[in-house]
Amino acid sequence: MATADIVRIQSANTCERSLRKLRQSGRIRIDDVELAALATAVDGIAAQSIELFGSRTNPGQRGGDIDLLILSAGPRLETSRRVSTRFFFGCEERIDVVVLDPETLTVAEGAFLRSLHRVRIA
């Protein structure tokens, strides 16, 4: 896999605008509280990509937790814990955070990524 650019999310406001556009276009299901909490949770995270996947990317479904994928060379557990904790301070909805290093994907991780319907939020 070619080296990808790592982007530090500039601000919660930038992410919030992106999430609002995705919601308005019907690509994601997320309410205002979840949207604000998610934008704050990923503020400052260094990542190649931050994406939603799972039921929240299917407008025909209802409910479900928030599934977040972060492609980053950063420390997986620390990044996941940081995002989950920050999200919980703004919203008590369940969130699952998966952090994968795109440069060192295992065969199973690559298959997992290929199986997902993902919507990039940052």
pLDDT for res 1: 38
Domain ranges of the chain: 7-120
Tens digits of residue pLDDT in 2-50: 444 445 555 788 889 999 999 999 999 999 999 999 999 999 898 999 9
pLDDT for res 9: 55
Per CATH, the number for 7-120 is 3.30.460
Tens digits of residue pLDDT in 47-80: 999 999 999 998 888 878 999 999 999 999 999 9
Dist. CA 68–CA 81, nearest whole Å: 12
pLDDT for res 3: 43
| DSSP code per residue over 43-106 | TT-EESEEEEEGGGG-TT-----EEEEEE-SS-HHHHHHHHHHHHHHH--S-EEEEEE-TTS--
Our measurement of the distance from residue 17's CA atom to the centroid of its chain's CA atoms, rounded to an integer in Å, reads 15
What are the CA-CA distances from residue 109 to residues 42, 51, 57, 69, 118 (Å)? 22, 15, 20, 12, 14
Tell me the average pLDDT across 82-102.
95
Say what the pTM is.
0.88
